[in-house]
Amino acid sequence: MDVVNDVYKRGYIPLIDSEKKVDLVSEIKRLKKEKNAVILAHYYQEPIIQDLADYVGDSLGLSRKAAETEADIILFAGVHFMAETAKILNPTKKVILPDLNAGCSLADSCNAEDLAKFKERYPNHLVVTYVNTSAEVKAISDICCTSSNAEKIVQSIPLDQPIIFAPDKNLGSYIKNQTGRDMVLWDGACIVHEAFSLEKLIALYQKHPKAQIIAHPESEAHILKVANYIGSTSELIDYVKTNPNSEFIVATEAGVIHEMQKAVPNKILVAAPAKEDNTCACSECAYMKMNTLEKVYSCLKYELPEIHVEQEIQERALIPIQRMLDLS
């Protein structure tokens, strides 16, 4: 099999017959040690991948870990922009992603060419971009943010400075309301967080009247309006841990419930329902779920697919990421 050519066409390496008999979990652990590799996983990954990871976190925590790791190889169990951010922070390290097709609707909604034209319409504005963007978009941004530090980043900008916020209009309008700042918003959204149904959420709440509704700020305004608490994935986890309530309806990608339930085994956690019925009647990110245990294994074994970022873009994209890390 011509692994290298095939992987960039397909996006991942399928298992060959002899590998199908392998105990994947113990082989991944062995390969990790042998290669001095680290697995960084987002909370939206499959539970089995989260349990294998050296670190599980939100986008900010993962960027921090990527910046400080001493491993030779970073296997990023997340989506493309996250692995790319790790590569920007570690240009000399090998960063691998189990499936190159693991994208993001937010990153896809904003390309560098269109953002450059948008900037021309608002020449006095400073550009704050959510980390859910490509390296090229980061390269033309002034400062990055994640959902856990967006408010702090915006507050750090002088009061008379108008801002372009891209690409998430829901997070952007939430931050605009919180801070009262002069912000123009890019028209992008997360397909998962836009899929929550208010009608079904209310019906679910009627069945769980003691529950608190907690939501990620990528959700639409009408969902945020009924939420008792709004926060990033790690903030939502901390909230269920520290809040005395024993029942929560969770409006973010359902993968986060794995970590939450481990932290609060005796509390009732229910995934907020999506508009369209799908198999689990909850919201799952199809991009995040492209990474499977099999792909994690083959990715680590062959050290492919690898993330590459052109040097000039890497150097420019590092500036807004570093500014964010310095501020948070």
User: Burial letters for 167-188: b for 16+ Cβ neighbours within 10 Å, e otherwise?
Assistant: bbbbbbbbbbeebebebebbeb
Cβ at position 210, least distance to ligand 13P in Å: 26
For residue 74, the number of C-alpha atoms closer than 13 Å in the C-beta half-sphere is 30
Tokens found for residue 50 = 């989260």
Torsion of CA 120, 115, 145, 75, to 10 degrees: -150
SS3 content of the chain, % helix, strand, coil (to 5): 45, 15, 40
Q: Are 137 and 111 in contact (CB under 8 A)?
A: yes
Nearest to 11 by CA among 304, 308, 270: 304
Contact between 290 and ligand SF4 per CB under 6 A = no
Where are any strands of DSSP class E within the chain?
37-42, 55-57, 73-77, 94-96, 126-130, 143-145, 163-166, 183-185, 212-215, 229-230, 247-251, 268-271
Binding to ligand 13P (CB under 6 A): which residues in 243-302?
none
Tokens of 297: 């294994």
The one-letter code for the residue type at 195 is A
Under the binding rule (CB under 6 A), the answer on residue 232 touching ligand 13P is yes
At closest approach, how far in Å is the CB of 256 from ligand SF4? 10
Q: Contacting ligand SF4 (CB under 6 A), which of 86, 163, 271, 285?
A: 285
Q: Which stretch binds ligand SF4 (CB under 6 A): 146-154, 223-231, 274-282, 285-293?
A: 285-293
d(CA 291, CA 305): 12
The binder of 287, among ligand 13P, ligand SF4, none, by C-beta within 5 to 8 A per type, is ligand SF4
Q: How far apart are CA 73 and CA 83, in angstroms?
A: 12
Based on CB atoms, which residue is closest to ligand SF4, 163 or 190?
190
Cα–Cα distance between 125 and 122 in angstroms, integer? 6
Exactly one of 45, 50, 69, 132 binds ligand 13P (CB under 6 A); that residue is 132
Least Cα distance to 171 among 149, 204, 141, 155 occurs for: 149
Closest CB 218 distance from ligand SF4, rounded Å = 6
- Residue from 58, 99, 259, 306 in contact with ligand 13P (CB under 6 A): 58
The one of ligand SF4, ligand 13P, none whose footprint includes residue 46, by CB under 5 to 8 A per kind, is: none
* Binding of ligand 13P by 133 (CB under 6 A): no
Tell me which of ligand 13P, ligand SF4, none is bound by residue 146, counting a contact when its beta carbon lies within the kind-specific cut-off of 5 to 8 angstroms: ligand 13P
To ligand SF4, the closest distance from the beta carbon of 212 in angstroms equals: 22
Under rule CB under 6 A, residue 212 binds ligand 13P:
no
287 binds ligand SF4 (CB under 6 A): yes
- Nearer to ligand 13P by C-beta: 64 or 301? 64
Instruction: Based on the shown chain and the rule CB under 6 A, indicate whether residue 75 belongs to the binding site for ligand SF4.
Output: no
Structure tokens at 74: 């970073």
106 scored as a contact of ligand SF4 (CB under 6 A): yes
Applying CB under 6 A, which part among 65-73, 116-124, 144-152, 290-298 lies near ligand 13P?
144-152
**Site membership for ligand 13P, residue 220 (CB under 6 A):** no
Instruction: Decide if 218 contacts 285 (C-beta within 8 A).
Output: no
Residue 105 binding partner per list ligand 13P, ligand SF4, none, with a CB distance cut-off of 5 to 8 Å that depends on partner kind? ligand SF4
Binding partner of 171, given ligand 13P, ligand SF4, none, CB within 5-8 angstroms per partner class: none
Chain positions contacting ligand SF4, by CB under 6 A: 44, 79, 104-106, 132, 190-192, 218, 253, 285, 287-288
> What is the binding site for ligand 13P (CB under 6 A)?
58-60, 132, 146-148, 190, 216, 218, 232-233
